[in-house]
Amino acid sequence: MGKRTFYFVRHGKTEWNLARRMQGWGDSPLIEEGINGAIATGEALSDIDFTAVYSSPSKRTVDTTGYIIGDRNIDVTTLDGLREMSFGIWEGERFVDITANYGEEYAMMLDNPEYYKAEVSQGETYHQVKERTKLAIEQILEEQSEGNILVVSHGMALRVLIFVALQEADLQTHRTETPHLLNTGITVVEYEDGEFRVLKANDISHLEGIVEGV
């Protein structure tokens, strides 16, 4: 088994991102900024020879993946394990309304990941996200013996995967001690000799002048 280098990318900005609505397993289309960000990501990664490409099955990630790989002749494999964290009955709701109507559990989700039970939301816990995303990466490692691998997924799922599951870090403090992953930001993780190493986290230099606020 040789060295494998993962290029993790969060999907492009969507209508619900813009409207400040909870997305999760729900979905909404990419907006123009999200499309442009995905295209710019593809240009930034144009010199990378990808041996494989994986995506969450959500349409926003599949569409983002398509814009990134452009006219490259490479198959895209979708894995359910790469889906975003499920937020149950909160999906599609505005964050301000979730805060107003489910404040206690929502605060627990944000501030106490280790102990968040998702009892009201009926979604997933961070522990469940950690286990399924880690299984997805283990499947990819079994299927790809070496090379550069593009993985397009979601903000919270990737944050738990990269900084908790792969780094064996503290789930409770990961939200305060790791970077928030922005839309179409690039995080590069190297795997060799049984160890994962983050080479670059949330790189958005390629989005300057394309995405608002960058």
The domain that contains 15 carries what CATH number?
3.40.50.1240
Residue 158 domain flag: yes
Q: Find the mean pLDDT for residues 185-191.
A: 98
Q: Within a domain: residue 28?
A: yes
DSSP lists the bridge partners of residue 7 as 150, 188
In a domain, 97, yes or no: no
Is it the case that residue 213 has pLDDT exceeding 70?
no
Please check whether residue 26 lies inside any domain of the structure: yes
Report the SS3 class of residue 68: helix
pLDDT in tens, 97-119: 999 999 999 999 999 999 999 99
Distance in angstroms (rounded) separating the CA atoms of residues 150 and 1: 18
Would 76 be classed as within a structural domain? yes
Report the alpha-carbon distance of residue 187 to residue 203 in Å, rounded: 6
Binding region for substrate:
10-17, 60
Q: What is the pLDDT of residues 31-64, one digit of tens each?
A: 999 999 999 999 999 999 999 999 999 999 999 9
Confidence at 169, pLDDT banded by 50, 70, 90: confident
Task: Answer yes or no: is 96 within a domain.
Answer: no
pLDDT surpasses 80 at 191: yes
The strand pair at 76-78 and 50-55 is best described as: parallel
Structural domain total, the chain: 1
How far apart, in Å, are the Cα atoms of 102 and each of 21, 35, 93, 94, 121? 14, 33, 11, 12, 8
Domain assignment of residue 166, yes or no: yes
Q: Is the pLDDT of residue 1 over 70?
A: yes
Cα 86 to Cα 63: distance, rounded to the nearest angstrom: 20
Spatial separation of the C-alpha atoms in residues 122 and 139, rounded to whole Å: 27
Q: For residue 106, tell me if it sits in a domain.
A: no
For residue 129, give its domain range: 4-85+125-207
How far apart, in Å, are the Cα atoms of 57 and each of 26, 30, 33, 79?
11, 15, 21, 6
Mark the binding-site residues, compressed into ranges: 10-17, 60
Residue of 32, 33, 43, 84 marked catalytic = 84
Active site residue 84: yes
pLDDT of amino acid 214: 67
Is 174 assigned a catalytic role? no
Q: Of all helices (H) and strands (E), which one includes residue 146?
A: none
